[in-house]
Amino acid sequence: MKYAAEIAAALLLFVLISYSVSCHFGSKNDSARSIAARMQVEVLSKFLESSKSEYGQYPAQLDLDDPWSIPYVYSLVDGKPRVCSHGPDHRSSTSDDICAP
């Protein structure tokens, strides 16, 4: 597996960000959660690109939750992956959504 180290590092970073937010910032700090969600969305986007390079296709689904314990929204737009968190209001298509790219 050519990109195994990169994929493992991306997943480890994802876990560390999640742990840091939950332990150090408390469960009600939406600013910290938004920062974590932005970082996680970027990590997930890079993970998806690595997965495409390694396996020739993007994963069919992501079973991961954002810092508000809501599943990330994952779709292919024009053949490219798009990962979104609905943000603190938990609703799609609002100003607090966090997406990459």
- What pLDDT does 94 receive? 93
pTM equals: 0.69
Structural domain boundaries enclosing 94: 4-100
Q: Looking at residue 43, what is its pLDDT?
A: 86
List of the chain residues with pLDDT < 50: none
Question: What is the reported pLDDT for 97?
Answer: 94
48 phi/psi in degrees, rounded to 5: -65, -40
The pLDDT, as a whole number, for residue 18 is 67
**DSSP per position, 17-58:** HHHHHHHHS-TT-HHHHHHHHHHHHHHHHHHHHHHHHHHSS-
Strand-pair category, 73-77 with 98-100: unpaired
Instruction: Give me the pLDDT at residue 61, please.
Output: 84
Question: How many structural domains does the chain have?
Answer: 1
The whole-angstrom separation of Cα 39 and Cα 10 is: 11
